[in-house]
Structure 1
């Protein structure tokens, strides 16, 4: 009986020792998982979130857990960054950022630029700009920087002429100096531009909205060139642009792999800006 008790005690000790080793291994595994740096980036659904999701596997190998956050409205992305709900956002270009930062007092920095979405002129009623009639209705985005961008595109196509001296990327139809065809401008929330297209003679629409609306970007009658200053950028709170994980994300976004991904997936709709 005594001998059996000794054997039982030895077995119990062995099981306890094995269990202890097993717990230690699990703890180490958990610790190794916790070594991953979580980075939350708020993004527009298309193409921004798609591009970010493309680089997730490569970043995971470097210990970065990239979490892509798509909110109901892009207008929420800068407040979310300000309130530290996300670590960065990717949906805007510098002229837009500068206009809202001045208004809202954001202290943000650009960590890197990724792509240009050439804004374009679309129509369900005409096949070329030469068919625009006297007094034709043109829908343009109503936020300051994109409104200027739309008017600048029309100026480049010699359909209007803006007043000289505009240098802050802000202009409205009241800043038009010459309008030979007396075009009528309808200022519309950018997200609604694809929807109002049947009600106007033409609409100048941001490419991400064209893609979201399942429109064919190749049907633009004319669009910006690749030298557009409206590159979409990664934006962070000032000081965070020097963080190792942010630099690693920007490096992946500026890689040859992403350049090929953008070209093959989006064609003329999205142009790499690096």
Structure 2
């Protein structure tokens, strides 16, 4: 072929007609190794499996690493053993950053696993009678989230400066004299047989076979401060793979998967 002028001329014509590829853009989105994301088992792992398929079409190789210990996931991201963490709600994440001074930042909001109101006695919060018993989480972080939800439904009034760390001491309005009964998260679903209403987080509800969209009588807004976050190291904030990962998470296929798989029991804040 090297000695055939006609063949050589045809090859040159083909190369000249080929479109020029934007090499910098193509290679900028391709890390030298797979991007590893630490998650807890459950919705985050399931959703990221869909994200992985979308990202692969963009040249990004995602590896999902399931762990049972969220704090260990954050520690491994900080140390460079993982590239990202996807499991923690935004309020807890901000608290841990302030408390421990870790080097992680929020890359994007992912989904909201909503706290919701459940009852076996009524079908609307407006049906609660005077002196009704409302079971709420005993855990301080979950309790604040539950009280904000009760406040938003007009069942109690919180002081203006209670913020995202509200406790029962911050309840300044309770005109129907509801009795607030703090319980461990694992006992809230069982308490439905004796209390008038219980505020239950999604993981505890799911273990009891309850779904917010199907079984609750009031549900947390998707754009709550407690929506979950995708966290990365601060040094990686401008990395091309982070932008590709965020765009893949917020893509139409992932949006459709979340809606079809969870039917608003896992919600999108975006």
Bin of the TM-score, shorter chain as denominator length = 0.7 to 0.9
- With normalisation by structure 1, the TM-score equals 0.75
1:68 matched residue in structure 2 = 64
2:77 aligns with: 81
Matches within 5 A, 1:143-154: 143-154=139-150
Q: 1:271 to 1:86 in 2, by over 3 A?
A: same
Equivalent in 227, 230, 255 of residue 226 of structure 2? 230
2:25 — aligned with what? none
Q: Deviations over 1:4-28 (max 9, x none)?
A: xxxxxxxxxxxxxxxxxxxxxxxxx
**1:121 corresponds to which of 96, 117, 125:** 117
Change over 3 Å in CA distance of 1:203–1:74 after alignment to 2: farther
Distance 1:128-1:226 versus aligned 2 partners, 3 A rule: same
Structure 1: runs of 5 or more not aligned:
1-34
1:261 corresponds to: 257
Three-state SS of the structure 2 residue aligned to 1:37 is coil
- Quote the residue 1:180 is aligned against: 175
1:214 is paired with a residue whose SS is coil
Q: How does 1:169-208 map to 2 (within 5 A)?
A: 169-190=164-185, 193-194=188-189, 196-198=191-193, 200-208=195-203
Aligned residue for 1:270? 266
1:123-181 Cα deviation digits (max 9, x unpaired)? 234333234344443333344443222111111211111112234x1111111112223
Q: Rg bigger for which structure?
A: 1
Q: CA 1:144 to 1:101, structure 2 compared with 1: closer, same or farther past 3 Å?
A: farther
- Partners of 2:65 and 2:45 lie apart in 1 by 8
Whole-Å separation in 2 of the counterparts to 1:193 and 1:92: 21
Of residues 88, 95, 109 in structure 2, which corresponds to 1:92? 88
TM-score by length of 2: 0.76
Partner of 1:16: none
Distance 1:190 1:48, change over 3 A: farther
Give 1:75 shift: 4.7
The alpha-carbon distance between structure 1 residues 196 and 89, as it changes in their structure 2 partners (threshold 3 A), is farther
Which protein has the bigger helix share?
1
| Unmatched segments (≥5 aa) in structure 2 | 1-30
Q: Given the superposition, is the C-alpha separation of residues 138 and 46 from structure 1 closer, same or farther in structure 2, using an over 3 Å criterion?
A: farther
Q: CA deviation at 1:197?
A: 4.1
How many residues are matched?
240
Q: CA RMSD in A?
A: 2.7
